């Protein structure tokens, strides 16, 4: 891959950012073209984006990327002129060209090692383009002769006076060359890259109109020697010969418009686009994501200090009520609290992105997968403007990919099956996002065949994951949630899409790792809906603070449904160890947290006044026994990964205003301990760092060292 010699790293960075924007726009619009049909406005928007991308690629000297862009532009121009009608072949060719262009972009960004081969995709684009309907012969029209006017002559004389070389190469393509337009575009791009192109035949307009013969005649000012120039041109595929002739100093008649085109003067649309880009750049600033993360971390520290200062102020006010400085301190503390709160909100907003940024990436995937499986699927997205922290978006992409692929492969029936069942041949797959009680919910819903719980039971038994006796006692909701069993696969055969026994359990683990949850609602013959409930941000978490022994813990409120005081008559003990709590005629397993986490007081038996926090994770409902409740509070999340390693039952830590360290409970993993208490307790105890009886102290020490 070769780029223009004067391209800087900053130029390349800007190109990559703009290329990604244009590629995403093209991806969305081409899929709209297939779904909604052609309209003048849509075709113009697609053509403009393709033209912009091609021009940008030519500007940085990436001739292969520009060549693919040109071939796409030619096909789009025929669509725009009404010479072709939109069909699956054309849309597929355009999407394949986007794949190649994106691969080039990734190679430029250092994310890929090999430069893609453009020949296959250019051939596909040209096959989709076909020959113009009004063509009388197989040969294209001849371009106009090279135009040399007074302006070109003046530029030649000025270049010679400055000591620059002026050449007139005539490039002849092989008779067997099938891609004359592409090769002519590559020649022009190379000449523009290594020097200043004064005149050319065919002109840029003629190349875009496919008015290209076997020869390309040009005048170029360059600092490279004739030998190097010839070597560069001969390196282009299908170039048969390169000859140099003397540059004529006499002008030939030419129209002003042709002169502008030959000399590479920008057209009005390009000028307007540049102006628009300049205005846009003056209103927005691109900022590195890492810098936003650092700002969010510092704001977290400010929030802790703000609360601490407020507490100190209140203590001083109670001791020195009549001191004038106390009143000033109170006013300053109030103002500081307001400013920090606004700053925190602004930084959080800066990190928020609409979920549409990730939803749009699935439209193409759904379309291609449905085609490969021979299924007809209408993909609908709702709530794309719903905003969520970018770190959450990064973590939900892979789970959503799996859920959508599963829906198409397993959930949605073939057109024949749907027709036989009285359904429309085209299935509906809907991806929605909406706010729900301070969290964001994302729904993946299909109108397919639903989940067959009997087949699930048979599969888990056949794979040795459950016993026949245990599955026979399962409720329907418990049977449905067997899809999250590790190693389970109900696919009749292994394919590239599914059936490898790795999937839904990983999806649930990834969602629960960010304090989210996933639920399933399904009906045979009607369809399936999976709902992910996620925190808006991973920087802070709304929690219920509880005390277990001498330590404080935070339970994320997304899992909490209610709190109660445990009494003797509500408890039942089975097998001499497992405790069950009866609430409103419902029996719920009780997990006493002081039995799990090191440093517990050992108190909290049935005769003591202890509390239970009722939590839900998936379809499981569990009571967590704690010694006392404090208050709900938003806590700043600090990761333990770099300090303590993985601590079972703990997902992170926070520092309170008074300097206390509060550990944040991993409620999902705690819920999974229900029914497996003896073995799990020993595992959780043994995996605590060094078997310490004071886990909080160990975490506090490491957090202080890191600070």
702 assigned to active site: no
Minimal CA–CA distance to 665: which of 632, 706, 624?
A: 624
Does residue 706 contact residue 642 with C-beta atoms inside 8 Å?
yes
Tell me whether residue 410 is one of the annotated catalytic residues.
Answer: no
Q: How far apart are CA 290 and CA 304, in angstroms?
A: 22
Per DSSP bridges, beta strands 650-655 and 611-617 are: unpaired
Asked if omega into 406 is within 30° of 0 (cis), the reply is: no
How far apart CA 73 and CA 71 sit, in angstroms, is 5
Q: Quote the CA–CA distance of 153 and 149 in Å, as a whole number.
A: 6
Burial class (CB in 10 A: 0-12, 13-18, 19+), 83: middle
Contact between residue 465 and residue 415 where contact means Cβ atoms under 8 Å apart: no
Adjacency order of strands within the sheet including 195-201:
195-201, 215-222, 165-173, 239-245
State the distance between the two ends of the chain, measured CA to CA, in whole angstroms: 45
β-bridge pairing 560-565 and 611-617: antiparallel
From the candidates 62, 70, 73, 413, give the one annotated as an active-site residue.
73
d(CA 85, CA 522): 41
73 is catalytic: yes
Strands (E), 352-477: 352-354, 377-382, 387-389, 427-436, 439-446
Residues 6+ apart with CB under 8 A from 217: 145, 146, 168, 170, 171, 200, 201
Query: Kind of pairing, strands 215-222 and 165-173?
Result: antiparallel
Alpha helix (H) residue ranges in 37-60: 40-59
Which residues lie closer than 8 Å to 447 by C-beta, 6 or more apart?
Answer: 412, 423, 427, 428, 526, 527
Cβ contacts of residue 673 below 8 Å, gap of 6+?
591, 596, 649, 680, 681, 684
Are the CB atoms for 399 and 491 separated by under 8 Å?
A: no
What's the CA angle centered on 390, arms 386 and 393, to 5 degrees?
Answer: 70
Q: Which residue is catalytic, options 208, 230, 406, 551?
A: 406
Give the pair of three-digit tokens for residue 557: 């409120």
- Per the listing, tokens 């939109």 go with 86
How many Å apart are CA 369 and CA 50, to the nearest integer?
Answer: 25
Q: Which residue, among 33, 41, 100, 91, has the nearest Cα to 70 in the 3D structure?
A: 100
The sheet that has 377-382: what strands, in order across it? 377-382, 427-436, 439-446, 527-535, 517-523
Beta carbons within 10 angstroms of residue 364's beta carbon: 17
Q: How many residues would you count in the chain?
A: 707
Return phi, psi of residue 591, to 5°: -115, 115
Residues 465 and 489 sit within 8 Å (Cβ to Cβ): no
Token pair in block for residue 585: 């005629």
Residues 6 or more apart whose Cβ sits within 8 Å of residue 629: 544, 545, 546, 547, 563, 611, 613
| Residues acting as catalytic residues | 51, 73, 406
């Amino acid at each position: 891959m070769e780029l223009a010699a004067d391209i800087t790293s900053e130029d390349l960075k800007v190109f990559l950012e703009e290329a990604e924007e244009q590629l995403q726009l093209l991806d969305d619009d081409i899929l709209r073209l297939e779904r909604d049909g052609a309209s003048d406005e849509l075709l113009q928007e697609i053509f403009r984006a393709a033209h912009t991308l091609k021009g940008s690629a030519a500007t940085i000297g990436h001739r292969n990327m520009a060549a693919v862009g040109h071939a796409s532009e030619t096909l789009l121009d025929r669509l725009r002129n009404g010479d072709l009608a939109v069909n699956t072949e054309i849309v597929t060719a355009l999407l394949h060209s986007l794949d190649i262009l994106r691969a080039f972009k990734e190679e430029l960004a250092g994310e890929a090692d090999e430069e893609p081969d453009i020949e296959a995709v250019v051939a596909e684009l040209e096959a989709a383009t076909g020959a113009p309907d009004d063509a009388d012969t197989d040969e294209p029209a001849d371009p106009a002769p090279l135009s040399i006017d007074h302006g070109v002559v003046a530029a030649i004389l000025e270049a010679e006076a400055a000591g620059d070389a002026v050449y007139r190469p005539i490039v002849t393509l092989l008779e067997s060359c099938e891609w004359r337009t592409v090769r002519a575009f590559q020649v022009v791009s190379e000449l523009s890259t290594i020097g200043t192109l004064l005149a050319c035949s065919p002109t840029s307009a003629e190349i875009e109109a496919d008015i290209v013969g076997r020869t390309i005649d040009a005048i170029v000012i360059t600092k490279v020697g004739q030998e190097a120039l010839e070597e560069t041109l001969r390196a282009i595929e299908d170039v048969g010969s390169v000859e140099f002739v003397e540059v004529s100093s006499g002008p030939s008649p030419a129209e002003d418009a042709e002169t502008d085109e030959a000399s590479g003067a920008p057209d009005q649309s390009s000028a307007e686009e540049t102006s628009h880009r300049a205005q846009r750049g003056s209103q927005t600033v691109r900022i590195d994501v890492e810098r936003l993360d650092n700002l969010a971390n510092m704001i977290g520290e400010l929030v802790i200090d703000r609360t601490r200062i407020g507490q100190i102020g209140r203590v001083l006010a109670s001791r020195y009520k009549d001191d004038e400085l106390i009143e000033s301190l109170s006013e300053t503390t109030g103002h500081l609290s307001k400013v920090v709160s606004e700053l925190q909100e602004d930084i959080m907003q800066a990190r928020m992105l609409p979920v549409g940024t990730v939803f749009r990436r699935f439209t193409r995937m759904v379309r291609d997968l449905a085609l490969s499986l021979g299924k007809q699927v209408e993909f609908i997205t709702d709530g794309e403007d719903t905003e969520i922290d970018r770190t959450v978006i990064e973590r939900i992409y892979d789970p959503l990919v799996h859920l959508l692929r599963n829906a198409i492969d397993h959930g949605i029936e073939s057109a024949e099956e749907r027709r036989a069942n009285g359904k429309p041949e085209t299935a509906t797959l809907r991806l929605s996002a909406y706010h729900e009680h301070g969290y964001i919910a994302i729904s993946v819903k299909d109108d397919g065949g639903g989940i067959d719980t009997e087949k699930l039971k048979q599969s888990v038994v056949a794979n040795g994951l459950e016993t026949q006796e245990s599955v026979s006692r399962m409720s329907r909701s418990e049977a449905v949630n067997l899809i999250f069993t590790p190693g389970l696969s109900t696919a009749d055969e292994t394919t590239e899409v599914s059936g490898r026994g790795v999937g839904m359990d990983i999806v649930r683990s990834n969602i629960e790792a960010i304090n989210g949850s996933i639920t399933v609602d399904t009906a045979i013959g009607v369809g399936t809906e999976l709902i992910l409930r996620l925190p808006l941000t991973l920087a802070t978490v709304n929690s219920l603070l509880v005390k277990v022994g001498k330590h404080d813990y935070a339970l994320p409120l997304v899992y909490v449904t209610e709190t109660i005081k445990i009494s003797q008559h509500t408890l039942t003990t089975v097998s001499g160890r497992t405790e069950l709590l009866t609430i409103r005629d419902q029996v719920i397993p009780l997990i006493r947290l002081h039995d799990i986490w090191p440093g517990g007081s050992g108190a909290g038996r049935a005769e003591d006044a202890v509390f239970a926090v009722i939590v839900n994770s998936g379809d499981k409902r569990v009571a967590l026994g704690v010694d006392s409740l404090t208050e709900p509070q938003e806590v700043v999340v600090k990761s333990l990964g770099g300090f303590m390693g993985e601590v079972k039952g703990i997902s992170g830590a926070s520092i309170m205003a008074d300097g206390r360290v509060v550990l944040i409970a991993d409620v999902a993993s705690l819920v999974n301990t229900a029914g497996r208490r003896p073995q799990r307790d020993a595992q959780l105890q043994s995996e605590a760092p060094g078997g310490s009886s004071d886990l909080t102290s160990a975490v506090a020490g490491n957090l202080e060292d890191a600070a």
